[in-house]
Amino acid sequence: EAQVTQNPRYLITVTGKKLTVTCSQNMNHEYMSWYRQDPGLGLRQIYYSMNVEVTDKGDVPEGYKVSRKEKRNFPLILESPSPNQTSLYFCASSPAGGLYNEQFFGPGTRLTVL
Partner 1 sequence: AQKVTQAQTEISVVEKEDVTLDCVYETRDTTYYLFWYKQPPSGELVFLIRRNSFDEQNEISGRYSWNFQKSTSSFNFTITASQVVDSAVYFCALSGLNTGNQFYFGTGTSLTVIP
Q: Site residues (CB under 8 A) for partner 1?
A: 31, 33, 35, 40-45, 48, 50, 56, 58-59, 88, 90, 92, 98-105, 107-108
Least spacing, CB of residue 8 vs partner 1, in Å: 15
User: By C-beta, is 81 or 98 nearer to partner 1?
Assistant: 98
Task: Give backbone dihedrals phi and psi of 64, rounded to 5 degrees, phi first.
Answer: -125, 155
Least spacing, CB of residue 100 vs partner 1, in Å: 5
Burial class (CB within 10 angstroms; exposed 0-12, middle 13-18, buried 19+) of 114: exposed
User: By C-beta, is 35 or 74 nearer to partner 1?
Assistant: 35
Q: How many C-beta neighbours within 10 Å does residue 17 have?
A: 12
Which residues does 98 contact at the CB level (< 8 Å), separation at least 6?
A: 30, 31, 33, 48, 50
Q: How many C-beta neighbours within 10 Å does residue 103 have?
A: 17
User: By C-beta, is 16 or 107 nearer to partner 1?
Assistant: 107
Least spacing, CB of residue 13 vs partner 1, in Å: 21
Least spacing, CB of residue 91 vs partner 1, in Å: 11
